[in-house]
């Protein structure tokens, strides 16, 4: 369970980190200048539209941790660029970026330790190494959950001027922001990391070696090979290993 869930969680969190759909918003185009610009761009692609149809189009905006995109709905007009301006300088965005990068690093290190500790190609695992990897994976999941919680809680205020400042810009339409698909990938991946790390941390038990009836203080493997109760049993009864 841990070996499957931890890498799957890492892939999902990494996918969420590099995609620009952490939040999305849309606004109806109502400016003549911007409508003319978009109309000329659409005509440049061989798509003739009327002024009224341009004004009726919706402007779709998506923001991620490192990239933002702008697209006109029902058209091929789309532009993406690295995050910049107030959104990039927002301390909450920088905090989320740092937490996500730290989470990815810890989860990768935990998976490496878990693979070394599990050692499915041998009889006994290195329980301490595997448990250490599980701790790192759990910490990675908690960090990514914290980052997602901070971003979701402040989703509509990231990079926006405070209302008390009274700063408004009538040149740009108002965007109604909401959570986008990358957040859900992140939530799912973080939960899988916590579950996988917990499985690695608690699933390994000490080998159960039976004792010789004539010498109860001695373990039967391999100190008491002369005990008939032990030597007549199959080897698989000597210990139990969860791998």
For 185, the domain range is 2-202
Q: How many domains does the chain have?
A: 2
Residues 195 and 216 in one domain: no
Count of CB atoms within 10 A of residue 86's CB?
A: 11
Residues 198 and 213 in one domain: no
Residues 195 and 212 in one domain: no
The whole-angstrom separation of Cα 9 and Cα 34 is: 42
How much is the CA Rg of the chain, to the nearest whole Å? 28
**Distance linking the first and last C-alpha atoms of the chain:** 10
The whole-angstrom separation of Cα 208 and Cα 237 is: 9
Answer for the pair 132, 81: CB distance below 8 angstroms, yes or no: no
Residue bearing tokens 């965007």:
175
Q: What is the pLDDT of residues 178-232, one digit of tens each?
A: 888 899 999 999 999 999 999 998 876 665 655 555 555 555 554 444 454 544 5
* pLDDT at 171 (0 to 100): 46
* pLDDT at 7 (0 to 100): 95
Q: CA-CA-CA-CA torsion for 89, 95, 99, 105, nearest 10 degrees?
A: 40
Residues 22 and 109 in one domain: yes
Helices (H), 57-126: 86-89, 91-118
- What would the 3-class secondary structure string for 174-185 be? CCEEEECHHHHH
Cα–Cα distances in Å, from 62 out to 28, 34, 78, 243?
15, 19, 11, 43
* pLDDT at 75 (0 to 100): 73
The whole-angstrom separation of Cα 103 and Cα 169 is: 37
Residues 132 and 95 in one domain: yes
* pLDDT at 233 (0 to 100): 52
CATH at 183: 1.20.140.150
Helix (H) or strand (E) holding 63: strand 58-63
Beta bridge partners of 78: 71
Residues 149 and 131 in one domain: yes
Residues 161 and 210 in one domain: no
Nearest in space to 196 (alpha carbons), one of 144, 139, 121: 139
Beta bridge partners of 27: 59
* pLDDT at 162 (0 to 100): 60
Residues 105 and 62 in one domain: yes
* pLDDT at 224 (0 to 100): 44
* pLDDT at 29 (0 to 100): 64
Residues 222 and 154 in one domain: no
Q: Which residues of the chain have pLDDT under 70?
A: 29-56, 120-121, 161-175, 204-243
Return the exposure string of 5-43: e unless at least 16 CB atoms fall within 10 Å of the residue's CB, then b. Answer: bbbbbbebbbebbebbbbbbbbeebeeeebbeebbebbe
Residues 135 and 223 in one domain: no
Count of CB atoms within 10 A of residue 177's CB?
A: 18
Residues 219 and 149 in one domain: no
Residues 114 and 53 in one domain: yes
* pLDDT at 188 (0 to 100): 95
């Amino acid at each position: 369970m841990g070996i499957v869930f931890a890498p799957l969680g890492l892939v999902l969190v990494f996918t969420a980190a590099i995609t620009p759909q952490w939040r999305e918003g849309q606004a109806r185009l109502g400016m003549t200048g911007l409508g003319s610009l978009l109309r000329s761009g659409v005509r440049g692609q061989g798509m003739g539209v009327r002024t009224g149809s341009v004004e009726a189009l919706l402007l779709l905006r998506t923001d991620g941790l490192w990239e933002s995109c702008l697209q006109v709905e029902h058209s091929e007009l789309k532009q993406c660029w690295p995050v910049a301006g107030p959104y990039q300088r927002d301390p909450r965005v920088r905090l989320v970026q740092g937490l996500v990068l730290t989470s990815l690093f810890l989860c990768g290190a935990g998976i490496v330790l878990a693979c070394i500790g599990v050692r499915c190609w041998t009889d006994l695992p290195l329980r301490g190494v595997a448990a250490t990897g599980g701790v790192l994976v759990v910490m990675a999941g908690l960090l990514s959950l914290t980052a997602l919680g901070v971003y979701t809680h402040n989703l509509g205020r990231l990079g926006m001027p405070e209302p008390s400042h009274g700063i408004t810009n009538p040149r740009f339409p108002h965007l109604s922001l909401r959570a986008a698909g990358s957040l859900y990938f992140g939530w799912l991946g973080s939960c899988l990391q916590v579950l996988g790390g917990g499985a690695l941390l608690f699933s390994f038990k000490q080998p159960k070696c039976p004792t010789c009836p004539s010498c109860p203080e001695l373990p039967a493997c391999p100190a008491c090979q002369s005990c008939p109760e032990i030597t007549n049993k199959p080897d698989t009864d000597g210990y139990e290993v969860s791998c």
